[in-house]
Structure 1
Amino acid sequence: MRDPYLCFSASYTQVALKGESSSQQETRLGISTAKLHRSGIRSTETQILGFNMTITFATINLFNYLAPPNAYYQFDNIYTQAEWQKKKQWFSQKIKQLDADIIGFQEVFSFDELRNQMMDLGYPYVACVDEPIVKDGYIYSHPVVVIASRYSLRQVSAVHGTLPNQAAPFCFNRTPLHATVCLPMLGDIDVYIVHFKSQRPAESPAAPHHLIDEWQQETLGRWLSTVQRGFEANLTHQYIVNTQKQTGRPCVLMGDFNKPLHHEEFQGLLSQALYRRPETQQPLADYALYDAWDLHTESVEQPRKATHYAGSTGSVLDYILLSADFAPFTQPMKSYISHYTVLDQHLINPSYELDNFSTDHALVAVTLKVNTAPS
């Protein structure tokens, strides 16, 4: 088993000298001030630069990860052995490239296969909380989410919730996963893996008889999918906040949201105050979540890469959200984002020979530099 404390390499632990210019600090410390600016950190404000450990989180949609001779969704969707090995090899190469410490996976049908693959890649802790649905013994639907970690998992459980005035638990389309991971320097953190409801219309109980009926059913079905996605996001948020209230632990939420984060159904995830009551922002600050991209690109203008394409139209569907503990303005500062990585070559300039059994999503990773200086 890989020793988790060997995953890190020391880079710098230096004291910023009073009166130094930014360029002098860059020369002496060997760190780019621009990198600090990308995380909202100004070198003149940073008295102790002790960020010499890294933690990387990644979210990966595996796109129908199912070992043959089983089929996904319909009877003829079956990989050959050669295709299956090619798919696994592609992901192994990308996972090595990302070098993430904790990975959240979506669209997993073959959990045992993935667990074995990840253990071979140096991830001894792999878990899920649900099972796909199997029809006729080999046709799989409703894939699950999975976490893989280089560090020990203290607990793994299913996210649950109940809608107001409802006695029965809410039924997620794909059950979110909650894991508590023990990290060096940071201690225990909560990691949530999600795959929210897709944009496909919810199925109608009756087949339409006319074109107008079909049209109306599709319109209503899309709205019902949006409602389901909104319930999933907001109940997950309630679960996260309740856990934070009980434990005070930092958290990371990541996965395939299936719609851009600015859409209405996700507003609760980024809410920081009660409506038209700005005075409530400070009391709620400890429970706020932040898009890692926004923390990374603060004060820096650069276009955000799409993580999914419908034809030539790109959208950002895959996200990593961080609790306020990881925000650069939190004192004492625990970490800052040094890299935000999007592997999208297979989407924007694919090679059929290399990428034909890959995924229809980009792979997203966030690297945190962790403060190891004495407080």
Structure 2
Amino acid sequence: MQQELRFATFNVCNLAPAGAKLYDNLAPLTAQEYEAKVAWTAHQLDQLDADVIGLQEIFSLAALRDVLARSSRYRDAMLAGVEAEAGAERLTPQVALVSRLPLAATPAAYPAFPDGVAMPAGSRDADRFARAPLHAQILLPDRRVLDVIVVHLKSKRPDYRNGDCGDDPLLYAQANLRSLIRRGTEAVALRVLLSQLSEAERGGRRPRIVLGDFNDTADAVTTTIVLGAGAWCQPGDELSGRMFDCNQIQLRQDRLRHVGYTNIHEGHYMTIDHVLVSEEFNPASRYAIGEVLDVSYLNDHLLQQRPETSDHGQVLVRLRLYGARDRAEA
């Protein structure tokens, strides 16, 4: 039985067909630019060589299929995502998932917030995610089912309204606050979704992984909301329902040579893309079925700044499933 599994998250940065209009301040890709984008993205996928990859900023599944066809390792991989609406005036970014492991069920997107979660009254799309999380059930080599959720939370880009501009400090502050409220509400909605999955499967204790662009660091309030720390206080069950940042619980903790960042903004190096795992991959849990061996970052391209590359680094996590002997010794 395969013991090592590899999971990755990859914000590809505006993958869309040539000629497609995405934003007012962004020119559509030319045929040559699209060709370069597809070739580079396929190369990065092959470099990751992960069993399951969560992707963000997918404006077209057709473009992603072009990428997979160009790759060496993913031509026959499973692809899950949301198809663009036929006849839509403008494409919108979505998340997607590529898996070389079989799926145990049809993937599902969650565009709407769970009951009880909503943006403040009067907000645009007050009851829904800007990018719907995608939930896939992956069949592991030992026949267990693993829940994988791909996410892309709201960015820190100021959310201006009604023709506002950035010259007024108050308007700028209010626009930043709207972005923070959106990201925070999406984090709460994601936490509720994870809790609902945990509650529905409590008898089976199904492991889960969250992959994605959180648009904030692992210690940010919005990310810790998703992690769920401090929410469970039953003696002996403190880890139940929580998620754990793979970078924090990996077995390899070589701080001297470990260089982990996935984004550079105004000279600041940050890690805003994360892979989170449930307690089943935390050796501190009595329910552990595996462990995080190490976390790697593919980020050299961030310094090259070629037009076809992404503005995000990729995060690759290696997991090891316990065998029968490991479980017996535990």
Shared fold (TM-score greater than 0.5)? Answer: yes
Select the structure of larger CA radius of gyration: 1
Q: How much has 1:72 moved relative to structure 2? A: 2.1
Does 1:361 find its partner at 2:316? no
Q: How much has 1:165 moved relative to structure 2? A: 7.8
Residue 188 of structure 1 contacts residue 249 of structure 1 at CA under 8 Å; is this kept in 2?
A: yes
The AA in structure 2 aligned to 1:162 is: P
Distance 1:297 1:227, change over 3 A: farther
Q: How much has 1:255 moved relative to structure 2? A: 0.5
Corresponding residue of 2:108: 157
Cα distance in 1 between the residues matched to 2:233 and 2:93: 43
Residue 152 of structure 2 contacts residue 213 of structure 2 at CA under 8 Å; is this kept in 1?
A: yes
Corresponding residue of 1:218: 172
Residue 215 of structure 2 contacts residue 273 of structure 2 at CA under 8 Å; is this kept in 1?
A: yes
Distance 1:161 1:72, change over 3 A: closer
Corresponding residue of 1:262: 219
Corresponding residue of 1:189: 146
Q: How much has 1:123 moved relative to structure 2? A: 4.3
The AA in structure 2 aligned to 1:306 is: Y
Q: Aligned match of 1:273 in 208, 230, 241?
A: 230
Corresponding residue of 1:341: 296
Distance 1:76 1:301, change over 3 A: closer
Q: Aligned match of 1:95 in 45, 52, 55?
A: 45
Q: How much has 1:128 moved relative to structure 2? A: 1.1
The AA in structure 2 aligned to 1:77 is: A
| Identity fraction in percent | 24
Q: How much has 1:125 moved relative to structure 2? A: 1.2
Corresponding residue of 2:266: 311
What aligned pairs does 1:160-309 form with structure 2 within 5 A after superposition? 160-162=112-114, 164=116, 170-185=127-142, 187-207=144-164, 211=167, 214-247=168-201, 248-274=205-231, 279-280=233-234, 282-296=236-250, 300-302=254-256, 303-309=258-264
Q: How much has 1:183 moved relative to structure 2? A: 1.3
Residue 132 of structure 1 contacts residue 144 of structure 1 at CA under 8 Å; is this kept in 2?
A: no
Cα distance in 1 between the residues matched to 2:199 and 2:274: 23
Deviation track 1:201-237 (CA, whole Å, cap 9, x = no partner) reads 12313546x95xx321221111111111011111111
Residue 39 of structure 2 contacts residue 67 of structure 2 at CA under 8 Å; is this kept in 1?
A: no
* TM-score, normalising length: structure 1: 0.75
The structure carrying a bigger helix percent of its residues is 1
Q: How much has 1:294 moved relative to structure 2? A: 0.4
What aligned pairs does 1:19-30 form with structure 2 within 5 A after superposition? none
Deviation track 1:9-59 (CA, whole Å, cap 9, x = no partner) reads xxxxxxxxxxxxxxxxxxxxxxxxxxxxxxxxxxxxxxxxxxxx2111110
The AA in structure 1 aligned to 2:17 is: A
SS in structure 2 of the partner of residue 240 of structure 1? helix
- Alignment coverage as a number of residue pairs: 312
Distance 1:298 1:230, change over 3 A: farther
Q: How much has 1:76 moved relative to structure 2? A: 6.0
Residues 96-105 or 303-312, more deviating: 303-312
SS in structure 2 of the partner of residue 361 of structure 1? coil
Cα distance in 1 between the residues matched to 2:126 and 2:207: 26
Corresponding residue of 2:280: 325
Indicate the structure whose relative CO is greater, using CA pairs within 8 Å and at least 6 residues apart. Answer: 1
Cα distance in 1 between the residues matched to 2:27 and 2:114: 35
Residue 130 of structure 1 contacts residue 175 of structure 1 at CA under 8 Å; is this kept in 2?
A: no
SS in structure 1 of the partner of residue 158 of structure 2? coil
Q: How much has 1:180 moved relative to structure 2? A: 0.8
Cα distance in 2 between the residues matched to 1:55 and 1:363: 16
Distance 1:70 1:128, change over 3 A: same
Distance 1:255 1:134, change over 3 A: farther
Deviation track 1:270-303 (CA, whole Å, cap 9, x = no partner) reads 23324xxx85464342211000000115765345
Cα distance in 2 between the residues matched to 1:199 and 1:281: 38
Q: CA RMSD in A?
A: 2.7
Query: Any stretches of 5+ residues in structure 2 without a counterpart?
Result: none
Does 1:68 find its partner at 2:68? no
Does 1:78 find its partner at 2:28? yes
Cα distance in 2 between the residues matched to 1:364 and 1:165: 30
Q: How much has 1:131 moved relative to structure 2? A: 3.6
Cα distance in 2 between the residues matched to 1:297 and 1:131: 40
